[in-house]
Structure 1
Amino acid sequence: MKAVSNTPITILLLEDSDFDTELISEHVRQVSPEPEIVRAIGRRDYVEALESGRCDVILSDYSLPGFDGMAALDLAIEKAPNTPFIFVSGVLGEEIAIESFKKGATDYVLKQRLMRLPAAVDRALAESRERVERRRAEEQLKLLVAELSHRVKNTLAMVMSIVRRTASRSRTVDDYEEALTSRLRALSDAHALLFESNWGETNLRQVLERTLHPFRPGQGGDIGISGPDVTLEPKAALALSLIFHELVTNALKFGALSTESGKVAIEWKKITEGAGPLIEFVWRESGGPLVEAPSEAGFGHTLIARSAEYELDGEARIGFEPTGLICEIQFAAA
């Protein structure tokens, strides 16, 4: 329906009498703003008007030559189910009125009391708008529930994977508890940030700062951050929070941040390449212990690579240079 309080409406009037049409039109013009009236006399032009989708309210006589009001109501329910239908008739018995309401009529007005018609039209429109808004709210709620279910399933799958892989790489129960708690806290912090943005787009710098905050010993110069504003979709924000967590915890345990002289330089930029813009993110460590490539990839390395590939639709490269670890990640810009 197009009708709102300050927008002219279109009324479809099914009436065979010229005299009654003039009387009804005169009363209906009291509706503000003044509506457009489309008259139909028989079944054919009535159906054509319904199929045009232009009418906001239907006014119908009950007794028509070769075509009765109940048939008109059935057609309205079939072709314009959300449009209010009001009988305007000289005679409409109580039984017929009750039957019409059961079938879906909105109201009825006797031709002897046409002064009721403007109020009946306004009330029918208001009730119709309320039904439309309620259906829209219900549909929105269904979409939100479906989206929430999808996100919860994805999050639980991620948690289960973290639990299993952390267990397989832990040597002791204490190691397992510490590593698992730390990773789940990073995931929780990312969810908190997304909640603050109402699960909309968030900022790469915000995700990075939120992830690094528990590990930074104040405002020292051990971690340098540089890069333009980059917006992230929720899925990318969650993946990057876990990647950043793995990088910073590894740097604290084995890399540059395990020594007082160590530094981490974090930079990112937007580049245009191929099908669309990309984000190029670089984590570069220096000043820490001598770095040697491990004999096999650990869980952190695997998590970074798989998160970049499957969650960011990008790629990650980790280099174990003697001067320090370098992690380069490319992924599509939002």
Structure 2
Amino acid sequence: MSFYELEEFAESVIPAVSVTVTMTWPFPSSSSSSNLLIPKPSSKETDRTVNDGGPAAAVFTVVDFLMNNKVKKTWLLLFVQIAAFTPQDNYLINCGSSKSSVVVDNRRFVGDSSKNSSAYLKQGKSIALENPNPSPTSSVLHASARVFTSASSYAFDIKSMGTHFVRLHFSPFSCGNYDLGNGNFSVLANGVSLLSNFGADFSVSKEFLFMVDRLELEILFFPTSDSTFAFVNAIEVFSAPKDFFVDDGGIALISPDGIQEFKQKISSQILETVHRVNVGGPRLTPFNDTLWRSWVPDEEFLVLKSAAKIAVTTNHQITTRWGY
């Protein structure tokens, strides 16, 4: 079945869908990873909703399984995402900020130096820093950071066990004796490695999806040596929609031997988002996505743009136009 046949199938099930692609990978606890998706500032002309024109969106997801830092398997998933969603667990932390809260994309982030959210910090030595020269175009979440000089953690009570999103935001700046671009550290979630020997030279967000099977989620930051430190600007922890991953059917394993059914449960894997691509569509921002995600257009990934065509849905009919 071709890509456009898959799109036509989705259109026959769900009216007025927007086709999107997410690329993620699960990885062993010893792996390290670098960011491959840096959201760019968006304009009002390109801000649109993922589920534009309908109550749901058909999403194609490509997942790579990493083993010894080499891609061994690729999965192709097709699942349906309902437009409206309110997570049962929803923690939004503006790290290092003394402000009670700030609103970003219609979401309220609370400062971890304020009385209401300081309880999330559980152990270790940390310092709250404010960016002395914040850029007027940067996110308000980049105006402060929490610096850890020893192993330190945040802990969040979990109301609904299951798949959760964890997003970690990093934006280095210099303040006093600290140049955050020199930090080097690792991050664990309930004892499982998310980042290893990580450092951020520029603003970046790291997104992970994994199963939380206990009533507390601890995110531990620890410097890789006594001479360095860890830091984070903002943290998001929220539960994913029920059955966000299709474990029973709908998953294909793509290998040199062809396409096969993948029988393991993808929800049991630890996934990191690598690329999130809106195929044939514009850049999308967290403001207009029901799970507050950033999507990039597919033009930069096309090897030969003149050989590509865009499929457009109109009154449940799919038409195509060539080129960009």
Q: Normalising by the residue count of structure 2, what TM-score does the alignment of the two structures yield?
A: 0.20
More strand by share: 2
Select the structure with the greater relative contact order (CA < 8 A; seq sep ≥ 6).
2
TM-score of the aligned structures, taking structure 1 as reference length? 0.19
Structure number with bigger Rg: 1
Report the structure, 1 or 2, having the larger helix content: 1
